[in-house]
Amino acid sequence: KEDFVPEGADKFIHALGPFLALFPVLVTFAVVPIGDAIEIAGRTVQLQAATINVGALYILASIGVGVYGVALGGWASNNRWALLGAVRATAQMISYEIAMGLAIIAIVITFGTLDLQEICRQQGGVWFGWLPRWGIFLQPVAFVILLTAGMAESKRVPFDLPEGESELIAGYFTEYSGGKQAAFMLTDFAEVVLVAALLTLFFFGGWQFPWLYEDGFHLGAHAMELPRAVVVILGVIAFWFKVVGFCWLQILVRWTLPRFRYDQLMRLGWKGLVPLGLLNVLITAFVVVAANGAAR
């Protein structure tokens, strides 16, 4: 647990690396709405730490900053294996951030807003009396892209090439110990929770639950009225159940799949997800424009 800094390392940047890796992930949670607005003592309180109308753009901006922490940490360590791990991590994160951005752009085009709370609200209710109005049914391709790119962003199995113990010892955090190493490890697991929250938010209704409306449950001709506070609490519980489910799914993939080769990793990103994401954005834009034209 000793806080060890190798000889010849830049001590300031060595300490700055873990902070720049962890901080952007944590502040991204600020714009994630975990529930609907609730009235407390005559005041309307949004269950969202930072209420901004460009939340989707904020997510892309904050996630992109995390690359600097990994790159600086590996470079400042004065270790060739740490530097190689940092180069791998930087290339991997930038590559898959492009695919992730394309998936989020498709969602923004579909719902017509950058406001995350509004995206949640548009996924309320059901189609045909039984099918939830969730984004997964509108953007299944974007869901696959965001899930895969998000797992690659977390740099864990099967995308743990920046670490690659058998090749790089521990990659970009080889020369880290104590709390600084813990910060790097915590970053990876915080990213797992963040990806689960984004999948829930964009594709599975966020805090929305089928047949649960502002005044209670409505199933066909049957209705059960509930206090507004109870409805909001049920929405928060639904949100976290979905998040835990996606965390479990990502851990299950880690248990199941072996590590990719680096050429396979980059081929999947640049020749698979990025072209697929571009095609999905183009098709989505065409469908939305055509639908708006027909509505007029």
Q: Select the more confidently predicted residue: 192 or 170.
A: 192
Cα 54 from chain centre:
16
| Structure confidence at residue 205 (pLDDT) | 94
In sequence order, what E strands does 111-152 have? 126-127, 131-132
What is the largest distance, in Å, between two alpha-carbon atoms of the chain? Answer: 73
| Structure confidence at residue 253 (pLDDT) | 92
Task: Quote the CA–CA distance of 229 and 225 in Å, as a whole number.
Answer: 12
Segment 224-280, tens digit of pLDDT? 888 888 889 999 999 999 999 999 999 999 889 888 888 999 999 999 999 999 999
| Structure confidence at residue 226 (pLDDT) | 86
In sequence order, what E strands does the chain have? 38-40, 43-45, 126-127, 131-132, 212-213, 216-219, 222-225
| Structure confidence at residue 221 (pLDDT) | 67
Please state, for a pLDDT cut of 90, what percent of the chain lies above it: 54
> What confidence category does residue 289 fall into, taking pLDDT thresholds of 50, 70 and 90?
very high
Residue 45 CB partners (closer than 8 Å, separation 6+): 37, 38, 39
Q: How far apart are the first and last CA of the chain?
A: 66
| Structure confidence at residue 168 (pLDDT) | 62
Mean pLDDT computed over every residue of the chain = 90
Q: Please determine, for residue 163, whether its predicted confidence score (pLDDT) is greater than 80.
A: no
Segment 96-128, tens digit of pLDDT? 999 999 999 999 999 999 999 999 999 988 888
Helix (H) or strand (E) holding 40: strand 38-40
> What confidence category does residue 199 fall into, taking pLDDT thresholds of 50, 70 and 90?
very high
Give the Å distances, CA to CA, from 134 to 98, 122, 127: 24, 8, 10
> What confidence category does residue 219 fall into, taking pLDDT thresholds of 50, 70 and 90?
confident
**Any idea which of 123-127, 156-160, 196-200 has the lowest mean pLDDT?**
156-160
This prediction's pTM? 0.92
| Structure confidence at residue 10 (pLDDT) | 84
Q: Select the more confidently predicted residue: 265 or 8.
A: 265
| Structure confidence at residue 121 (pLDDT) | 92
